[in-house]
Amino acid sequence: MTQKLKTGIGMAGLALFIAIAVIAYSTLAGRASANPASGPIFTEEPPAGRQRAPDFALTDWDGNSLMFSDIVAGGKPVVLNFWASWCPACRNETPGFEAVYQEHGGDVKFVMLGLVDGVRETVQTAQRYIEEGGFTLPVYFDTLREGLVAYGVRFIPATVFVDTDGYIVTAMQGAVDEDTLRSIIDLMLP
């Protein structure tokens, strides 16, 4: 094969790669803008420097569908935790979340959001973990993976703290120990 032919094949391959990338980007960007979970819960403009907690669909323990905004609308701070039963760090932090829930469950809404993919984690495996551990935390499931996308979660566990007005206070990647969880909640309470 001549050098000219090799260069031509390389250029054609590069052009094909760029065309596929542009088409894929356009397709995915169109889906993201059409997805209501990618936008804010409320339509008014948030105050400078504050971000509304994104809305998404989730399923409760009994299989009922609801929106995250239904939970946030309750006027209490919300602790949103992304987890899975197969995740060692998630398992390590769950007892601390349970202890703080027992202390503050009346003043703070906990949303323990099990990331269900139907393969590595199912609703049944997540429920079994919660039941066997004797946990009483409110557990929900991200069966459509909308919460995962809306919050840009790439690693679990991840925890998002939302104030009484529906704005994100802070977010943490990785396991949150009991003392840190308690401290952040104390700052969010009046």
Q: Is the pLDDT of residue 183 over 60?
A: yes
Structural domain total, the chain = 2
pLDDT at 29: 42
* Phi and psi at residue 34, to the nearest 5°: -85, -10
Same domain, 96 and 18: no
Same domain, 93 and 150: yes
| DSSP sequence for 52-121 | BPBP-EEEETTS-EEEHHHHHTTSS-EEEEEE-TT-HHHHHHHHHHHHHHHHHTTTSEEEEEE---SSS-
> Do strands 168-173 and 109-114 pair parallel, antiparallel, or not at all (unpaired)?
unpaired
Same domain, 7 and 53: no
Same domain, 48 and 22: no
Same domain, 104 and 122: yes
DSSP code of residue 144:
T
Nearest Cα residue to 76 out of 127, 152, 138, 136: 138
Same domain, 23 and 111: no
DSSP code of residue 37:
G
Same domain, 124 and 176: yes
Same domain, 97 and 148: yes
What residues contact residue 11 under an 8 Å CB cut-off, 6+ apart?
none
Kindly report, residue by residue over 26-62, the tens digit of the pLDDT. Answer: 444 443 333 333 333 333 444 567 889 999 999 999 9
Q: What percent of the chain has pLDDT over 90?
A: 65
Q: Are 121 and 45 in contact (CB under 8 A)?
A: no
Say if 39 falls within a structural domain: no
Same domain, 92 and 29: no
Q: Is the pLDDT of residue 140 over 70?
A: yes
Domain with 51, as residue range(s), is: 44-188
For the full predicted model, state whether its pTM sits above 0.95.
Answer: no
Same domain, 57 and 127: yes
